Structure 1
Amino acid sequence: EWLANWQRCVLDQAWRGLFHYQRRHNGNLFHTVLKKRSDHAELTDAAVAELVAAETGQPLSPEAFRKQLSRARRMFAELIVEEVARTLESPTPERVEDELIATGLMTYVKPFLHEDWRQRGILGEAH
């Protein structure tokens, strides 16, 4: 139960971070596109893009939706890494990675971890 609460806390922080980023950057839809995609996983990108456009009043093509979604996923992963690192006494990439695995949060971050992650401590593009 503690682990589930901790995981939920980290994810909530990441969602809040995306929300605040979107509010500070005009035209950015990171929070909205990722939330709609996660809430409507069964829908096509085009259908979710329509939902986002209806909610925000901004036209959004499926291509623009996919681009925003890709960037939102990366930022979400970065926010998770930052939150986990913040809780560690001496956060190194290796310790952060170990904590991500132990807490079950690695699934959100793994697509962005490249071979040089442990040397650089920086996430890359999804692969």
Structure 2
Amino acid sequence: MVVRIGELSRRTGVPSRMLRYYEEQGLLGALRSDNGYRCYGEAAVSRVQQIRGLLDAGLTTEIIRRILPFLEGPEGIHVHPACLTPELEGLLRGEVARIQARIDCLARNRDALLGYLAAVRPGSP
């Protein structure tokens, strides 16, 4: 089954503008019909969901573009060992450190807010 960009947008919840951006970044491929419309195969639905998940996890489009061809399924990051070059390993380790720094910052902010609430409303969680 072939779908056009509007249908892909509707089925994935990703705006058409973002789908065009994914195409520009080399994350998503589209064929062109005789009239110039973008056409996507049925697999594009799961590919877009996978891209969204990776972006939501904090990965950059550069890293996603490099690992996307080697992912084994939409449920998680299962990179084939042949994909892991020293350069990519360095990029991924950098992403892990960046994500951990964000987690640490969020935890400090959470603790500060909980401390404030406990100070102004003793006994509240």
Assess same fold via TM > 0.5. no
* Structure label with greater radius of gyration: 2
Structure ranking higher in strand proportion: 2
Structure ranking higher in helix proportion: 1
Bigger relative contact order, structure 1 or 2, given CA contacts below 8 A and separation 6+?
1
